[in-house]
A and B are shown apart, each in its own frame.
Chain A
């Protein structure tokens, strides 16, 4: 999937660069850059160092705030690259879309259970706010699927919530 702004795959995964994500998805997608967008992670030195460790060698890494991501992507900074965007929750993607970023498809991987969340699938639990954010994203004609690893059957996510 080639897109104009350089983003080839969007994934919601609380584990960010988890074992599976790092190797399987990055290889399958032939990504050239992994972009983490999370305002909290940017402030956490430990997590940042851990992410730098985890990124497969040869792949570039960006750790940005939502605002920073909007600025960079809108400035066409990643055109021609193959960016694999990973976030922890749909609210971040909502912020990006509201900021004018164009996304065509979102893959939901891991969302752990929290207070007041409802489990909708093996490793996906959503809060009411999550559901609102997902509905917003869907209303922008973005395709939302659930898929853990590349060899899994992708399923329509909106049918689950």
Chain B
């Protein structure tokens, strides 16, 4: 099976729009599972797209671009992985085998895009001094180009020129690797989960971690059900901690238990 031109065009547009959406509206186009589904739709195999997107999503659960850090780009990975898996008539693990390296490599382009926008920043500085309002607006909006192209161009290149390479891989893929990748797909969510547990104050809420685990594993409560249980517990917690703070505060606005000295220094 080959990639049709209209599919390539749509997938490239998808890549371009996804990064811009993540920077603005945030409808959800920077989340691998959503993009994977859309890519699957374009390629005609939604189930595969769902599965690929889901596996990649679980790997980056909770990982974010906090403060401008760059993270593996599994959105591009999902697009390219799904596309190639469909045309090579392969399954999820093949897609993962492509998606993960692609995603890891794309980090460099993210860094490049962030750097490039500095150019527009300096032009805006000049525009301010010249009081050139239209130019300011123009340069701010032009910043979208480095962002979008940093995703669109690689996807385009990979889709157009990658087919031959992918075919070679398909023919030469040994079972030990394929099987290994299949297992990898199943256990890669461990990474996303472990990262989350590391950076949330898990120890403080470990009881709830256990609760969630027991609910799902012994009681077989589905995910949405566990989320609702968690929501109920969170509301109880919030109400309790809020009334506790009000008691401590009494009438004052400041409820912090610290002390401020005459120099303005504060400590609790």
Interface members, chain A 15-52 (any B CB < 8 Å): 15, 18-20, 23-24, 27-28, 42-43, 48, 52
A-side interface mostly? mixed
Contact B265 A23 (CB under 8 A): no
Contact B268 A60 (CB under 8 A): yes
Number of B interface residues at 8 Å Cβ cutoff, please give it: 19
Residue A70 lies at the interface, judged by CB distance under 8 Å to chain B = no
Contacts of A18 in B (CB 8 A): 67
Given A27-B199, A27-B201, A20 and B264 contact (CB-CB distance below 8 Å):
no
A61 contact from B68, B198, B264, B268, Cβ within 8 A:
B268
Contact B198 A19 (CB under 8 A): no
Residue B200 lies at the interface, judged by CB distance under 8 Å to chain A = yes
Shortest Cβ distance from residue B174 to the other chain A in the assembled complex, whole angstroms: 33
Residues 111-149 of B, flagged 1 when their CB comes within 8 A of A and 0 if not, give 100100000000000000000000000000000000000
Residues 93-137 of A, flagged 1 when their CB comes within 8 A of B and 0 if not, give 000000000000000001000000000001100000000000000
Contact B263 A68 (CB under 8 A): yes
Contact A63 B199 (CB under 8 A): no
Contact A43 B267 (CB under 8 A): no
Contact A24 B199 (CB under 8 A): yes
Residue B266 lies at the interface, judged by CB distance under 8 Å to chain A = yes
Contact B69 A148 (CB under 8 A): yes
Contact A68 B265 (CB under 8 A): yes
Contact A19 B67 (CB under 8 A): yes
Given A27-B198, A148-B67, A58 and B204 contact (CB-CB distance below 8 Å):
yes
Query: Which residue of chain A has its CB nearest to the CB of B201?
Result: A27
Number of A interface residues at 8 Å Cβ cutoff, please give it: 27
Contact A65 B263 (CB under 8 A): yes
Residue B66 lies at the interface, judged by CB distance under 8 Å to chain A = yes
Residue B256 lies at the interface, judged by CB distance under 8 Å to chain A = yes
Rounded to whole angstroms, the CA-CA distance of A112 and B68 in the bound complex is: 13
Rounded to whole angstroms, the CA-CA distance of A68 and B67 in the bound complex is: 30
Shortest Cβ distance from residue B204 to the other chain A in the assembled complex, whole angstroms: 7
Contacts of B199 in A (CB 8 A): 23-24, 27-28
Contacts of A61 in B (CB 8 A): 258, 266-268
Rounded to whole angstroms, the CA-CA distance of A148 and B263 in the bound complex is: 32
Rounded to whole angstroms, the CA-CA distance of A99 and B77 in the bound complex is: 53
Contact A110 B263 (CB under 8 A): no
Contacts of B68 in A (CB 8 A): 122-123
Residue A73 lies at the interface, judged by CB distance under 8 Å to chain B = no
Shortest Cβ distance from residue B135 to the other chain A in the assembled complex, whole angstroms: 21
B200 contact from A19, A23, A62, Cβ within 8 A:
A23
A20 contact from B66, B114, B267, Cβ within 8 A:
B66
Shortest Cβ distance from residue A62 to the other chain B in the assembled complex, whole angstroms: 4
Contacts of A27 in B (CB 8 A): 198-201
Contact A63 B267 (CB under 8 A): yes
Residues 201-244 of B, flagged 1 when their CB comes within 8 A of A and 0 if not, give 10010000000000000000000000000000000000000000
Chain A interfacial positions (CB closer than 8 Å to B): 15, 18-20, 23-24, 27-28, 42-43, 48, 52, 56, 58, 60-65, 68, 110, 122-123, 148-149, 152
17 more CB-based (< 8 A) A-B contacts, given A62-B268, A122-B114: A18-B67, A19-B67, A23-B199, A24-B199, A28-B198, A42-B264, A48-B264, A58-B204, A61-B258, A61-B266, A62-B265, A65-B265, A68-B265, A123-B67, A123-B68, A149-B67, A152-B69
Residue contacts A-B, CB under 8 angstroms, 12 given: A23-B201, A27-B198, A27-B199, A43-B264, A58-B201, A60-B268, A62-B266, A63-B266, A65-B263, A65-B265, A68-B263, A122-B114
